[in-house]
A and B are shown apart, each in its own frame.
Chain A
Amino acid sequence: MFSLSRHHPSPTRSRSRAASALGTGLVLILLTGCGAGSKAGTSGTEAVACPIDQPTEAATVNILAYNSAATDPFTDTLVASCKSETLTLNHPPTDLTGQKQRATQSLSASDSSYDLIEQFGTVYSLYADRGWTVPLDAYMDDYSKKFNLGGIDKSLLAAHSYDGQQYGLPTYWSVNQLVYRKDIFDQLNLTPPTTFDEMREVAKTIQDSGLAEHPLAIPMAPTNDIQGLFGQTIRSLGGDYFVKDEPVPALNTPEGVEAIDSLKSLLPFMSPQVLSFSSPEVTTQLATGQAVMGLLVTGRLGPLVDKTKTSYADDFAFATPPSVKAGGKPLSFLSVDGFAVAKNSKVDPKLLFQLAAVATGEEASKSALPDALPARLDLIDPQTVPFAAGALEVLSSAKPLPLTQVPYMADVYSVLGAPIGDAVSGKMPTQQALDQAQIKAEEAIANAGYAK
């Protein structure tokens, strides 16, 4: 069709150039191949005692757990400690999106690709309801003493139960916390707000002082944040995502309208682009001093107390989030990750349970600190983890709830972002947006096969 050059090099030079190019290409491919497909490293992880009943015949266990600073300590300790001559443990790297997709594909197939599955609030009810994960109650009775399962907090254990049965062993947990700059609060004689009214007053005072143009920062991206924030707000007002014990959304209610209006009232104190912000943007705003006060989950607070990441590490303090109104429930939710046993796995479920117990055991839990708060609460030392005391306070006093433990929660959660975002941004009138959210939620429940 066209040519780049009319020059015709000699055959000898052409051959040597071709040989050089081929050789270079081969070397590059080999070098790339050395790095390709490398597994998540456990080389830095200390092996601990692994009191499982090792299999007598060769067995391979594939673990599906997304890579993050919070989840890796549990998985890495398991892999480093329990492999043996008869037991091979594989933990291929994956991110959170990949985790969700692979888990669904593996659990729903006739043959499992993964035997031990990391699970969390939006998905574990679906797995349990579909019969994809193994009820663990019998194993918990058998192995409770051996693995000191009594050390796992009961409320966190309950976050992985469904229909009266236990479907997972929890690893770590998160709650929403209010994080604020104590130095600025002291300077302006402010106290941490306990209601939205107080939060607006505090934000206005900071704005008027000129110390921060946008003093408040909350993740509000419609991809994954605004629908969670809406849920916390509507619960603070006495409502919820669904009618109690029914697969019927309860979004376009007076509580829903008030929740939206309450969130809208915070916008003047936040960046104009807040509706595109997730946790990384909020963390950056706080870490760089652009914001003075914010709502973040426990797992995102690490960079704020790390002196290498922010010059304000010693200035942050943590408190229970405010409620919308005085006397209402504080804004918060409970997120608990854990390990489940795949029902379609060919590996002995007793072995898989024991491996899950080691992954959630005391040694693995200690290695997670300070990046994650383990479900074994007695291992958490508030002196060494600055936000731990606040998180424990939220857990005990606010009694936060997880996302509604129904199998269609993920389906509904994913369709709420756009209409809730439109309502909060003012692109659509509140009632109209909530009516739309209600319809989308009803369709999502029906499409998932759970409509009444």
Chain B
Amino acid sequence: MRTRTFFALSWPAIAVMAGLLIVPLTLTFIWSFQNVPVGQPGVFIGLDNYREILGNKRFWDAAGFTVGIAIMLMVLKVSIGYAIALVLNKARYGQSVFLGILLATYVVPTVVGALDFSWLFNDVFGGPVNNILAIFGIQIEWLVDMWPARALVLMHSLWHELPFAILILYAGLQTLNKETLEAADLDGTNWWQRQRYIILPGLARFFTFVGLISMMDALKIFDSIRIITPAASQVGTESLMTYVYQIALNDSYRLGTASTVNLLTLLLTFVLLIPFLRSSWRDSRSTS
């Protein structure tokens, strides 16, 4: 395709991207060096916003929580998703029914799902979890204690997003060469050897894809935290997104400071995604 033709066909998409991506990014970058209260023009303050945020314990707590939950979610989604995909792959009947049921949690809007999920753990609304735990003499304050609240956010995210991982990895298992697996079986390999030398390498791209999407989803976690633990900063479940929302729109409309947090979050996201991007790059080079 000629370059002129390419641009003739793609200029609307480029224009939309420029309007919705490049312009806001540029504004965010400029505002990060200004004090910008809502309704008033920004005043240049150099690196003051960066000094304030990088010296702020709340920012580091939010960053630590976000990175921690992102890594945990990625590991759990890939491992549990793969385990369930393996079981599905072996099943003779009911695969589509089971997939359909699984996908129900994925299509439920996050806010609705988070509210319903949190009610399972809320004694006021008759949540059954603590009633069941009480049989074993266990009482957990899910909504006010830090680690239980963090576990709750993690469990909801897993419940909501695991079906996507299962679907992708199940699709990947379908693409494996059956003859190779049969040959390996005839050669006397055991289950673990087949996994290690044939199946897992064959699914490498799928794992990379699932890991990449999981990481990106987890880094922007917001809705479920706002619903399950509205007092996130106090409970210890404040993510970078809920933190920036508080600064920009709730605390005192400090758009300059919020822009700084956004830029630092972008940087952090890029750093965390480097391994996945490198893997995808290597993969695309080897196949081209």
A interface, CB within 8 angstroms of B: 1-4, 97, 101, 104-105, 107-109, 130, 132, 221-223, 271-273, 275-278, 281, 284-285, 288, 290, 410-411, 414-415, 417-418, 421-422, 425, 444, 447-449
Contact = CB atoms under 8 A, between A and B. Distances in A.
B194 interface: no
A417 B39 contact: no
A449 B174 CA distance: 62
Contacts of A422: 234
B231 A273 contact: no
A421 B234 contact: yes
B238 to A, nearest CB: 10
18 contacts: A2-B206, A4-B171, A97-B249, A104-B38, A105-B38, A108-B40, A109-B39, A275-B144, A276-B230, A278-B230, A281-B125, A288-B124, A411-B251, A411-B252, A415-B251, A418-B234, A421-B234, A448-B37
A272 B144 contact: yes
A290 B124 contact: yes
Interface residues of B, number: 35
Interface in B129-185: 139, 141-144, 168, 171-172, 174-175
A239 B279 CA distance: 62
Contacts of A284: 124-125
A410 B249 CA distance: 12
A414 B250 contact: yes
A428 to B, nearest CB: 11
B38 A414 contact: no
Given A276-B231, A414-B250, A415-B251, A2 B39 contact: no
A273 B234 contact: no
B205 A2 contact: yes
Pairs of residues from A and B, 9 with the lowest C-beta to C-beta distance, nearest first: A108-B39, A276-B143, A222-B231, A411-B252, A222-B234, A223-B230, A418-B234, A421-B234, A414-B251
B171 A276 contact: no
A122 to B, nearest CB: 12
Contacts of A281: 122, 124-125
Contact of B141 (A272, A415, A418, A444): A272
Contacts of A449: 37
Nearest to A422: B234
A15 B246 CA distance: 50
B144 A425 contact: yes
